[in-house]
Amino acid sequence: MNYNYDSGFGFGYFFFIFLIGVFSIVSLWKIFVKAGKPGWASIVPIYNILVELEIIGRPWYWILLMLVPIVNIVIAVMIMFDLAKVFGKGTGFCLGLVFLSVIFLGILAFGDAKYLGPISGQPTAYTPPPPSSQL
């Protein structure tokens, strides 16, 4: 008896991964548009990371840190945390982005999250006290 399951499983797996890839691209496209950036930037390699760094307010040279082993994992988690923060989400949502990124990118893209601006890496708003007239 010949039980050949290779061809069916291979195509089904390829199709499933293809659908996840398409959904991820559409989600990133929507996130970029929500942030006021061109959606097509989400499909251009390396440039999409630069645009994402601009969205979250981090410096461009972080892309160089993404080339350093181990450091790139830390930087990627920080980018996801900042992405959650600029859309008004908390630490729990960041953990969702880290471990279930496809699902949480979809929630961020198609949900009611609003882009708050590049608040990451920026100092908190500080209003100095009015000058006193006492000398």
**How far apart are the C-alpha atoms of 43 and 32, rounded to whole Å?**
11
Question: pLDDT value at position 31?
Answer: 94
Please tell me the total number of residues recorded for the chain in this structure.
135
Per residue in 59-112, pLDDT tens?
999 999 999 999 999 999 999 999 999 999 988 999 999 999 999 999 999 999
* Average pLDDT over every residue of 1-15: 68
Is-contact 116 86, C-beta < 8 A? yes
**How far apart are the C-alpha atoms of 75 and 51, rounded to whole Å?**
15
Q: What is the DSSP string of 48-96?
A: HHHHHHHHHT--TTHHHHTTSTTHHHHHHHHHHHHHHHHTT--HHHHHH
pLDDT confidence bin for 3, thresholds 50/70/90: low
pTM of the model: 0.78
